[in-house]
Chains A and B, each alone.
Chain A
């Protein structure tokens, strides 16, 4: 099997400071990769470089496109990259407000990506939007409500529906459970795990919550000060951490 995403030597500097340095990995179809580390360790910088929101200073991000096979998304033209980001890619922001249009109804939010790729039949768009709201456990009668009328957990689920409606193959998630209380987190994780398995999604999840990666991620990458200090299978890294920082991270989790 060939990888869906091949990351080769990505570095990003902010002046003299290191954002992230020399990160390389492969991601295979259906695989979920977790990136953990403390604040300022370069997780979000790395994710934004991968998703095309930031231009990395060195390195290549090769993605297995549907039409042309492996292509470097760093050097591809902007229209192509933007097309990718509304079809094959999805990006779930930590704050739902960053990823939603707050003054547009839930149905319109979900339908936007469909309309962006050329859907022009109102009935079909609405039907798909309603279907997706159901899949993220939002009642169909909320389809015309604005996200401002939704709770934080519902907004996050709406953001997920909006991203997955075009059937992407790769999802970038930046702390998808941040700021939600634990019971809502649990439901969201359950939902995400179901969707990832069902749609055979590949995902890259950035988080500092080890429970999230334990549940969702197949593989884990630990970052500190812009460098990757440890990689491996999730259970392996969490149960038998080798690097000093990983050991600290694992032992810092409060046991209830």
Chain B
């Protein structure tokens, strides 16, 4: 244990963040301003997510961090270590064993349960930002439910690309009211936003927290004649053979060789442990890197 207060932030700050979280849960999809603190990491690395995690963690929690689905990238490892050190909580890579999961840009493949919390790192919480630069105006648009502009973006996609080309941070409408940016998750994950777990979104630099309570209706925006499609690479995972998980494409040599693999490393590993093998995979070995 260290000399830090439990989970780094002082109790008053955690209290302030919890109030914002509760307000966010009470008004699903509404962006609650909060007094974001300086964290010992640069903006854009998950300062919002870390503050939300710090506010919800208890000593009994088991913590998991994923970055683009992976447990072993720099960002995920350092945030996990940060809370190991400052909160002394148990950590895990197994989705099913974690009670708090902080994520950047993915939702785990495995369905979450009611006793789990998913914390998102959000770079830009305002879905209307790139269409309407004025914060005063976007707040007014949210307040008056004027969301026609969001469809102008989708219209532009279709007129330029023949289909809705927005593939991540795909705008959703929460419980028939607020239009929300689900953070830059692939649109493949959008249907999973309708889940049993609690979803909390933290944007540190932009000082906003918002939330989706369990079993909340989350609908991806679309046109009647161009319905929403949760797309992924048309391939199976080369390591575990899964055909229904979201895939990363990896260039493996200079001759155009490539392989596809699950972006969710825990999901892929547990399938390989269970004996599934993909086209380029090898049987799972405990000591393999």
A→B interface (CB under 8 Å): 78-79, 82, 101, 104-105, 107-108, 111-113, 115-118, 120-123, 125-126, 143-144
Main secondary structure of the interface of B (DSSP, over half): helix
Closest to A113 in B: B148
A146 CA / B39 CA spacing, docked (Å): 42
Given contacts A78-B144, A82-B146, A144-B159, whether A108 and B223 have CB atoms under 8 Å apart is no
- With a CB–CB cut-off of 8 A, which chain B residues contact A113? 148
18 CB-based A-B contacts, threshold 8 Å: A82-B144, A101-B131, A105-B156, A107-B159, A108-B152, A112-B149, A113-B148, A115-B152, A116-B149, A120-B151, A120-B223, A121-B223, A121-B225, A122-B158, A122-B224, A122-B225, A122-B226, A143-B159
A78 CA / B151 CA spacing, docked (Å): 22
- With a CB–CB cut-off of 8 A, which chain B residues contact A125? 155
Across the A-B interface, the 5 shortest Cβ-Cβ residue pairs: A116-B148, A115-B148, A122-B223, A115-B151, A121-B224
Q: Is B160 an interface residue (CB 8 A)?
A: yes
* B residues 148-179 in Cβ contact with A at 8 Å: 148-149, 151-152, 155-156, 158-160
- With a CB–CB cut-off of 8 A, which chain A residues contact B159? 105, 107-108, 126, 143-144
A101 CA / B131 CA spacing, docked (Å): 9
Query: Is the beta-carbon distance between B146 and A111 smaller than 8 angstroms?
Result: no
Interface centre among B131, B144, B152, B160 (most CB of A within 10 A): B152
Query: Is the beta-carbon distance between B155 and A108 smaller than 8 angstroms?
Result: yes
Closest to A118 in B: B148
A-B contact count (CB 8 A): 52
Closest to A143 in B: B159
Output the least CB separation between B16 and chain A (Å): 31
Query: Is the beta-carbon distance between B152 and A111 smaller than 8 angstroms?
Result: yes
Query: Is the beta-carbon distance between A101 and B152 smaller than 8 angstroms?
Result: yes
Output the least CB separation between A86 and chain B (Å): 8
Query: Is the beta-carbon distance between A116 and B146 smaller than 8 angstroms?
Result: yes
Q: Could you say which of A108, A120, A123 contacts B156, with CB atoms under 8 Å apart?
A: A108
Output the least CB separation between A99 and chain B (Å): 15
Output the least CB separation between A200 and chain B (Å): 26
- With a CB–CB cut-off of 8 A, which chain B residues contact A120? 151, 223-224
- With a CB–CB cut-off of 8 A, which chain A residues contact B224? 120-122
- With a CB–CB cut-off of 8 A, which chain B residues contact A78? 144
- With a CB–CB cut-off of 8 A, which chain B residues contact A107? 155, 159
A120 CA / B224 CA spacing, docked (Å): 6
- With a CB–CB cut-off of 8 A, which chain A residues contact B144? 78-79, 82
A111 CA / B159 CA spacing, docked (Å): 12
Output the least CB separation between A77 and chain B (Å): 10
Give a binary string over B120-131; 1 marks a CB under 8 Å from any A CB, 0 the rest: 000000000001
- With a CB–CB cut-off of 8 A, which chain B residues contact A79? 144
- With a CB–CB cut-off of 8 A, which chain B residues contact A117? 148
Beyond A108-B152, A115-B151, 16 additional contacts (C-beta under 8 Å) are: A78-B144, A82-B144, A101-B152, A107-B155, A107-B159, A112-B148, A112-B149, A113-B148, A115-B152, A120-B151, A120-B223, A122-B155, A122-B158, A122-B224, A126-B155, A144-B159
A107 CA / B158 CA spacing, docked (Å): 11
Interface centre among A79, A120, A122, A125 (most CB of B within 10 A): A122
A78 CA / B160 CA spacing, docked (Å): 35
A143 CA / B155 CA spacing, docked (Å): 12
A123 CA / B149 CA spacing, docked (Å): 17
Query: Is the beta-carbon distance between A111 and B155 smaller than 8 angstroms?
Result: yes
Query: Is the beta-carbon distance between A115 and B225 smaller than 8 angstroms?
Result: no
* B residues 202-227 in Cβ contact with A at 8 Å: 223-226
A48 CA / B226 CA spacing, docked (Å): 39
Output the least CB separation between A116 and chain B (Å): 3
A125 CA / B154 CA spacing, docked (Å): 12
A111 CA / B158 CA spacing, docked (Å): 13
Closest to A146 in B: B156
Interface centre among A113, A115, A117 (most CB of B within 10 A): A115
